[in-house]
Amino acid sequence: MSFSDLKKQSKLGSLTSKLVKEVEKMNTTGGSGDERLWKPEMDKTGNGYAVIRFLPAPDGEELPWAKLYTHAFQGPGGWYIENSLTTLGQKDPVSEHNRELWNSGNDKDKETVRKQKRKLSYYSNIYVVKDPANPQNEGRVFLFKYGKKIFDKIMEAMQPEFEDETPINPFDFWQGANFKLKLVKKDGYWNYDKSEFDRVEPLLDDDDALEAVWKKQYSLAAVVAPDQFKSYEQLETRLKMVLGQKTASRPRYDEETNDEDNDRGSYSPDFSSRSQKSELPEDLSAQLNNLSSSKSDEDEDDALSYFQRLAEE
């Protein structure tokens, strides 16, 4: 496309229309924008179903999951969407700011803290056993982002509540179990309460095939590597801008996230350099506000990520 064609499309508004259609397509197909990430998809009845298998820790790593804290909220100076340094056990400016607000004893300040609280996500490698919405995913290894509710089901399988239940390791190739992911919409949000583990059985009968699967796994340590986080000073500067304490030219969108109390969102870690950041055009910002006002946090997070990628391309 030539520059003159670009200008012509801008005048006709066709670029905006095209982008909106792409966002609608993204929300319909459940695309994550990162080929490493798998995400369940709802059918026309408003339900979703898939069978996945949680995989062991990747070669050279200890845990089969990575735990990531993020913040995502809007202030007078725009959006603050950043990884939280508390993930690394370090001080984070938002957490410190929230602590001050909470200790003020003001109910309004406490409500602000609730809106600005940390959001929790887990990442694991999975093997897709069955994916009716996207059969091409079956037999492949992906990263899967999930929230506290699914993680609690994993813990319940490892530490069952009742004596007649046998504990299992859901991440084991041989003594683990497939996870039947059942998705419904409840109160406008995605709900996984009906999901459950199947009987204990090997993922595959061939150890050579299992080893091949193991070698295809993605690094979980990379999700929470230091280069995925900005410095305290950078985050503090951004926070002041968002809170209106420092002038910012336009709001900037950096990362997606999901809610700590609900399985929502589709954050995709940026494994490339985080030093180059772009601002979101004002017309796209307005469209995003329209989208987020009518969709769940999960839909909003997808839109945030998509517009971020558009701004950076």
**How many whole angstroms separate alpha carbon 171 and alpha carbon 214?**
11
Asked if 51 contacts 144 with a C-beta cutoff of 8 angstroms, the reply is no
The tokens of 194 are what? 């009906």
Give the homologous superfamily in CATH for domain 15-313.
Replication Fork Single-Stranded Dna Binding Protein (3.90.198.10)
Q: Which two tokens stand for residue 49?
A: 């179903």
Domain spans of the chain? 15-313
**What is the band of 15 on the pLDDT scale with cuts at 50, 70, 90?**
low
pTM of the model: 0.71
Model pLDDT, residue 190 = 86
Tally the C-alpha atoms within 13 A of residue 218's C-alpha that lie toward its C-beta.
Answer: 25
* Contact indicator for 224, 68 with CB cutoff of 8 Å: yes
Which pLDDT value is given to residue 187? 80
pLDDT in tens, 24-82: 555 544 444 688 999 998 888 888 999 999 999 999 999 999 999 999 999 999 999 99
Average pLDDT, the chain: 80
Residue pointed to by tokens 């990628």: 309
Cα 300 from Cα 298, distance rounded (Å): 5
